Amino acid sequence: MKQRTNEEWLAELRGPERDRAIGDLRAVIVRGLKVTFGGRVRGLDETAEDLAQDALIRILDNLDSFRGESRFTTWAQRIAVRVAYTELRRRRWRDVSLQEVIERHEGGRQPDALGDRGSSPERETARKMMVETFQRFIAEELTERQREAMVAVMFEGMPLEEAARRMETNRNALYKLLHDARKKLKRRIEAEGLSAKEVLEALGEG
């Protein structure tokens, strides 16, 4: 494949010779996606070629946003990886509702199983008190939306992007919402004279 500078990539992708440049860029993207996803993407009907085609359209639509801060192909592959993961996550989670995830979490609670059998009664009491305190902070400090996001993303492992789609927001805004939730809880435990370090110590991880 022809080696190109960033300027050459941009000029050729916009110029009369664009078909050749597009073909080369597609090859770069397919190779990159295959490293992570293999030829046929696990859990999807699509191949790396299919995903590359979707990515290519996005890249060509966004050429003006390339700021030249990296190699052009790095920038393009960054977009391709995001397009691929967005599709992959959407497919993997498509049959799962937010409500279902939250209910599953509620149903799976095991308060009595807290702690390990080998720990002392004092430590068990400390842990139990800590959990009850946290539970109260969560109820008092967080909004319903923050609690739902925390359960789905932090506790049940739903991708941020998928939780965001179900909550009719976007991934960036949901990250900020969760960051605000963490900050509120952290301030609250500090205001009560505790620290995250002490909490971890009570868990036996300090």
When asked if residue 142 is in the footprint of other proteins (CB under 8 A), the reply is: no
| Residue 16 CB, nearest approach to other proteins (Å) | 27
When asked if residue 91 is in the footprint of other proteins (CB under 8 A), the reply is: no
When asked if residue 78 is in the footprint of other proteins (CB under 8 A), the reply is: yes
What is the DSSP track for the chain? -----HHHHHHHHHSTTHHHHHHHHHHHHHHHHHHHHTTBTTTSS-BHHHHHHHHHHHHHHTGGG--SSS-HHHHHHHHHHHHHHHHHHHHHTTT--HHHHHHHHHHT--GGG-S-TTS-HHHHHHHHHHHHHHHHHHHHHS-HHHHHHIIIIIIT---HHHHHHHTTS-HHHHHHHHHHHHHHHHHHHHHTT--HHHHHHHTT--
When asked if residue 21 is in the footprint of other proteins (CB under 8 A), the reply is: no
List 40, 58, 89, 91, residue binding other proteins (CB under 8 A): 89
List 10, 11, 22, 28, residue binding other proteins (CB under 8 A): 28
List 24, 32, 55, 59, residue binding other proteins (CB under 8 A): 32
List 62, 97, 135, 143, residue binding other proteins (CB under 8 A): 135
Residues 107-121: b if buried by 16+ CB within 10 A, e if exposed: eeeeeeeebeeeeee
When asked if residue 10 is in the footprint of other proteins (CB under 8 A), the reply is: no
Q: Which of 117, 140, 115 minimizes the C-alpha distance to 130?
A: 115
| Shorter beta-carbon distance to other proteins: residue 57 or 114 | 114
When asked if residue 199 is in the footprint of other proteins (CB under 8 A), the reply is: yes
* Interaction pattern, residues 39-68, with other proteins; x per rule: CB under 8 A: ------------------------------
Chain CA centroid to CA 75, Å:
19
When asked if residue 145 is in the footprint of other proteins (CB under 8 A), the reply is: no
Binding site for other proteins (CB under 8 A): 28, 31-33, 35-37, 69-71, 73-75, 77-78, 80-82, 84-85, 89, 108-111, 113-115, 130-132, 134-135, 138, 150, 154-155, 157, 159-161, 171-173, 175-176, 179, 182-183, 185-186, 189, 196-197, 199-200, 203, 205
